[in-house]
Structure 1
Amino acid sequence: MVQPDDYLFADIERVQQIPIVKTVLEVICRSTGMGFAAVARVTEDRWIACSVQDEIGFGVEPGGELEIATTICNEIRASGNAVVIDHVDENEFYSGHPTPKLYGFKSYISLPIVLKNGSFFGTLCAIDPRPNQLQNPRVIGMFNLFSELLAFHLDSIQLMERTRSAMHELAGQLLVSNDENRQYRHISSHNLQEPLRKLRVFSDMLVNATDRYEVDKAKDLAVKIRSSAQQFSMMIKDLSEFSELNNSSPFEKIDLGNILADVTAQLMPQIERREIIIETDTLPVVQGVRDQIEQLFYQLMHNAVKFAGYEQPPRIRVTAQELALHEIDDLLPEPLQMSYAEIRVEDNGIGIDDSQLEKVFDIFARLPTGSFKQGEGVGLAYCRKIVRNHKGIIKAEPNPGKGTTFVVTLPLF
């Protein structure tokens, strides 16, 4: 029996956190007639039952182990291929295999559970002391759907754990503001719950459809599950990248004119397609982390390109000015003892309503502009975190119907 201090204990707990795993195993036994079904964690030297449905007294409980060398799952781990046996006595390869004789089964099916990163987690398997008809598209299709579904859930749980760990680490750092902690709490309790809710709902519907042999409906639900899992995965990826933004790299001299030129070149296909006019002042040299400053201006320019006016010639204007010391004292709570520059990125698009001025900088904040895409609702959050890393400030100035101006204040070199 696996103990809590065993390094694989966490994997067993992750499987047991999946709300539909018991239902999946019950459906497998009920719809196929197999007497024992399990989700097993399989490594090079261990076979551990994570969850079981035992209707034949096989005797293995969650946390129980079988000798790895005596299992066919070990061979599946090595090959990555499913094994399906209707009648072991009539199977050319497995009729003389020691495993069926050792455990007393005639029929067997097992499919690998492979995580998104390509690593082998274990198997979804079933055995019975009687022969069975398992090699048909309905049964194999059901096992494929369920093994894929379990992999999605395991990926989601692991991603959530990593994100929570990152959040806790960040929360312990003095540089993390109360504002970011507020956002992390909101994300955990709201943003990330929606795709998880969809996963639970569609998973339950999939189990019911499979139980009723509604193959077409099951396939449609599997697509929806995959889409919800992908959305969840993208959100976690964006959040992880956001949490890793820090100011640990040394500052250097950065010519913003060169940065803007590089960013404009990256966005040139969109700029030329929409015939956007770009106007720029001579930009200053600042202190900062080059990759972060480039990302800051890429996000600001990408946002401006996306929303530049459609009913008039699209136009983006980038200007800069040095700020007087008394202006810095009014803007920053703890300004550095140096000069600052104010850079303005202005478009002539639809503008931002006053009520949205602070929300646009929140992680996953989206104005009602369509469906979720990777990075949507994260770009401006990146901008604010990068500016804060550089002891500066960023704000948005509204002009609904006439455009938006983002104002960035950074220390000069």
Structure 2
Amino acid sequence: MNYSDEELIKDIERVNRISIVPTLLDVVCQTTGMGFAAIARVTETRWITCSVRDDIQFGLVQGSELKVETTICNEIRDSFQPVIINHVKENDLFCNHPTPLMYGFQSYISYPIILKTGEFFGTLCAIDPNPADLENPKIKGLFMAFSDLISFHLQQIELLDESDKTARNLNRQLSNSLDENRQYRHISSHTLQEPLRKLRIFSGMLVDSIRNKEIEKAEQFALKINDGADRFSNLIMSLSDFSILEENGATVQPVDLEYTVGVVKAELRFKLDERDATVNVGNLPTVPGVPLQMEQLFYHLFDNAVKFSKKDVPLLISISSQEYTRSVEGTHLMPEKRYVEIKFTDNGIGIDRFQLEKIFDMFSQIPSETVQEGSGIGLSICRKIIRNHSGLITIHSDQGAGTTVSIILPTS
């Protein structure tokens, strides 16, 4: 694949957005005693430095380019394997290799940077005109850890860029909804920033522990970084799920809600069986809607009922419907339309009435020791689906007395 200059410039910028990169290169040089260290972007046709530490006047700076076929990194790109040379003149494989002769080095170490997608990004490498002892397991471990850390940060930057793109899309699409704009501003400034802050802290601690040769601490910090990455990825995926509901072009067609509930019950049968659940379903109507969105709606309602069920008490779920005859004044419902009200009731732990005001906020979490951890976006998705269908959703609940979700949808 040929990469454009614009794409490669973005890759260099991504590396330089990783604040700990200069520290990593400093640690590499101090640990190995080598005078040059760099992160290189390597493609099939290009070799470009993204970040450099040069104490031996090798002559490369950020953005410098070498002919890829003259570099050992080119071979690493093909093999995905590191290359370690203590002393070029004494190495049978590389003593006559053109690259050391061309660039005048005797010691060389380079580890591949592999993205989570399996794509080869480039290398973390170091060279020096003098021999060096690079077979030390601690040096190998350091390069492996650092290349993985760079890969991890590149992934997070990509996810963050994607979230920014989603943010712009959401902000544009939700311009008519002050409430959802308020929520997204909170997500941008708080929800997404908190895991990133922790990742930066633990990344710094990981570097310090490696520098101080505290291997056990390094492993602990690496695990924390991995957990944080999972948390951040889940937030982004949840946000993407929400943004998909904004896409135009969804086909509205008659949706048999009894059939939809049956499909969702089958999908969640194992979770329902674990809670010894009984599900009573009354006569449900056929309404105009987007089938997949209606399935998502009931999936999240069932999932919440399971999540908020009482311990050691069989779960009971009742779903019923009736014609909606009350006044639509004070709502966005249209007087000329006919509506149906669907009630989804469970006998779970209920929700404190003080929590009901924010229950539909994205990533809201209801404090409870008995509730399984979730993303906190399920009810936000439910409300968005109902709004997409020009309906209304409300929740009635008391702590310890179960929950009733009321859904009002047009029937024509």
TM-score range, shorter chain: over 0.9
Q: State the match for 1:282 in structure 2.
A: 283
Q: State the match for 1:357 in structure 2.
A: 356
Matched, 1:296 2:297: yes
Q: State the match for 1:397 in structure 2.
A: 396
In the TM superposition, residue 298 of structure 1 has moved relative to its aligned partner by 0.7
Task: Decide whether aligned partners of structure 1 residues 373 and 310 sit closer, same or farther in structure 2, where only a CA change above 3 A counts.
Answer: closer
In the TM superposition, residue 10 of structure 1 has moved relative to its aligned partner by 1.3
Q: State the match for 1:170 in structure 2.
A: 170
2 CA distance for matches of 1:370 and 1:60? 56
Contact 1:32 1:139 in 2 (8 A): yes
Q: State the match for 1:104 in structure 2.
A: 104
2 CA distance for matches of 1:372 and 1:185? 27
Matched position secondary structure for 1:40: strand
Q: State the match for 2:44 in structure 1.
A: 44
In the TM superposition, residue 343 of structure 1 has moved relative to its aligned partner by 0.9
Task: Decide whether aligned partners of structure 1 residues 209 and 266 sit closer, same or farther in structure 2, where only a CA change above 3 A counts.
Answer: same
Q: State the match for 1:236 in structure 2.
A: 236
Matched position secondary structure for 2:279: strand
In the TM superposition, residue 286 of structure 1 has moved relative to its aligned partner by 0.8
Matched position secondary structure for 1:346: strand
2 CA distance for matches of 1:63 and 1:336? 64
Matched position secondary structure for 2:349: coil
Q: State the match for 1:255 in structure 2.
A: 256
In the TM superposition, residue 216 of structure 1 has moved relative to its aligned partner by 2.0
Matched position secondary structure for 2:408: strand
The amino acid that maps onto 2:97 is: H
2 CA distance for matches of 1:230 and 1:129? 42
In the TM superposition, residue 29 of structure 1 has moved relative to its aligned partner by 0.4
2 CA distance for matches of 1:373 and 1:274? 13
Identity across matched positions, percent: 50
Q: Which moved more, 1:175-184 or 1:296-305?
A: 175-184
The amino acid that maps onto 1:129 is: P
The amino acid that maps onto 1:190 is: H
2 CA distance for matches of 1:156 and 1:303? 29
Matched, 1:409 2:408: yes
2 CA distance for matches of 1:194 and 1:35? 37
- CA offsets, 1:115-163, max 9 Å, x none? 1111111111111111111122111111111111111111111111111
In the TM superposition, residue 44 of structure 1 has moved relative to its aligned partner by 1.3
1 CA distance for matches of 2:99 and 2:337? 75
Q: Which moved more, 1:166-175 or 1:7-16?
A: 166-175
Q: State the match for 2:307 in structure 1.
A: 306
TM-score, reference length from structure 1: 0.94
Contact 2:307 2:371 in 1 (8 A): no
Alignment of 1:6-405 (within 5 A): 6-173=6-173, 177-246=177-246, 247-310=248-311, 312-324=313-325, 327=327, 329-330=328-329, 332-333=331-332, 335=334, 337-369=336-368, 376-405=375-404
Unmatched runs of 5 consecutive residues or more in structure 2: none
The amino acid that maps onto 2:68 is: I
Contact 1:36 1:55 in 2 (8 A): yes
After superposition, the CA RMSD in angstroms is 2.1
1 CA distance for matches of 2:47 and 2:53? 16
Task: Decide whether aligned partners of structure 1 residues 311 and 68 sit closer, same or farther in structure 2, where only a CA change above 3 A counts.
Answer: closer
1 CA distance for matches of 2:369 and 2:132? 49
- CA offsets, 1:157-190, max 9 Å, x none? 1111111112112222367622222222111111
The amino acid that maps onto 1:291 is: L
Unmatched runs of 5 consecutive residues or more in structure 1: none
1 CA distance for matches of 2:79 and 2:176? 47
Matched position secondary structure for 1:144: helix
2 CA distance for matches of 1:165 and 1:93? 48
Matched position secondary structure for 2:94: coil
In the TM superposition, residue 311 of structure 1 has moved relative to its aligned partner by 5.7
The amino acid that maps onto 1:403 is: G
How many residues were matched structurally? 408
Contact 1:396 1:405 in 2 (8 A): yes
The amino acid that maps onto 2:283 is: T
2 CA distance for matches of 1:133 and 1:307? 59
Contact 2:252 2:288 in 1 (8 A): yes
Matched position secondary structure for 1:330: coil
2 CA distance for matches of 1:158 and 1:275? 43
Contact 1:307 1:347 in 2 (8 A): no
2 CA distance for matches of 1:273 and 1:166? 36
- CA offsets, 1:280-332, max 9 Å, x none? 211111111111100100110111122233364431111111112x53x2363
TM-score, reference length from structure 2: 0.94
